[in-house]
Structure 1
């Protein structure tokens, strides 16, 4: 069932995170004002009893499951049990509660890290489980695969309207800029900014990249993902199932670039002129991650934020946060 009324109650799980905030704001801008959210302090989604009680009390019509434990290579490697355990628990609690209370539609947000390390490019939804995963983020990937498969099983066994969106690498306002937990784009943005600030005499300090810088990545601006979420919520299930019988849709931009080229673009946006060095003792990760977006293209949605424009907006947001921190 698609979203047919602006009065429908929509629960955005994880509404305080980068993705959840963008979805919440985008839905409000589109006229959907009956939105429900809870912070992790108010509701621990790993607790199935508490989650079920919340669903029984609120009775949401639609659910966007954006709540997750997320992080980059370092965080995945350092906290593997947390990444697989917390995400499995969150997904099980929310998806089961949605089934028990008869939610009209649930959208589960995964990640393209679910695809095999050496999947054919661009990666189609059919490549799922066709080969070994990238070891550096396998814990998160396994959890996200399980979440999608649970949605698929709920549809197969109970005819529940549960769909999965698999966005490529996300970035934007609200991103995590902590160098121990962040993904590559915000990490490089912060590194370039701090290197520029560290050498006010004009001889900018160097920036160090992990690995060779040769792997290619695709980047999706978070507000584009929010628009894709709204679009899919408003699209009839039969239309979605016609192009995605398994209920899974990749979300991307259809273009990628090397980490070295990303660094050059970020340097240009930030105004950093220092050298770029490589720490080849660190892993490269998956050689390439470009997704096939033909399913979503067929339905009529495409991303429209150019990478440079998205980076500029993200950098502006980062500078605003830096200013606020100084003022405090």
Structure 2
């Protein structure tokens, strides 16, 4: 019976950890396991042989501020940095002194957070996996869980086997962005852009198809202003999901444009970044374009989204929950006798 108890407990933990009640982070399911890698990448990226969930949107300023106010009263590992007040991608403000810091959103909290390092994203993933607790940056909140960080702010840290919420692998991110199981007559295939198109997107905010927040190479127009004049005081971010009819085949938004996304690729001392940002041109949005940077970098055009274990449908989840409760109750009765 031991293995059954462990399975039930695992499902109970998975269901609890995936509820996302505090910050309301939304996932979509990426199915079709066993798809082939994209031939356009030399058959290197895109294959994922399991079903998983990935963020429907980038992590937002509202969600990241909730995180900071929960764990970063002292902030020894730099979850907040001054670049978060950059007018082009603001942001978040910090007030108070170490031990009593508090944080608030500058402008619309539905825009993506930017100026986060890979380590910031990993600590956020740990916090979500650990139940979004309030407390210091410790093993119980940010330092253990999906990743064992224990104070690390440099180097390469790999995902733990028990991860429930994590930074997507490069192929997980790539598949969610570019793969379409209905393409090629239903056999599946890849788009060049995450807007379900092989033609470079436009950048007009709204309900048009094949649109994204980037700087069009043809005329240098920024999406938010529709002007080719760069303004150091202009915020160029759009709310997540603002391009309402430009989702990927799996229903993710803004995997092209707004902010670049961290992924878990490793090359030497670097980690992966994909997708392009508000300041990118169309070349940076294409599936062929990838960037590798040091994981401690906190660029004002880079944010992230999470991946997660795919949770069963509500009816199945409830059955597992009841089964888990029955198994635990039976175990207690057996122990009592």
Normalised TM-score (structure 1): 0.25
TM-score for both structures, normalised by structure 2: 0.24
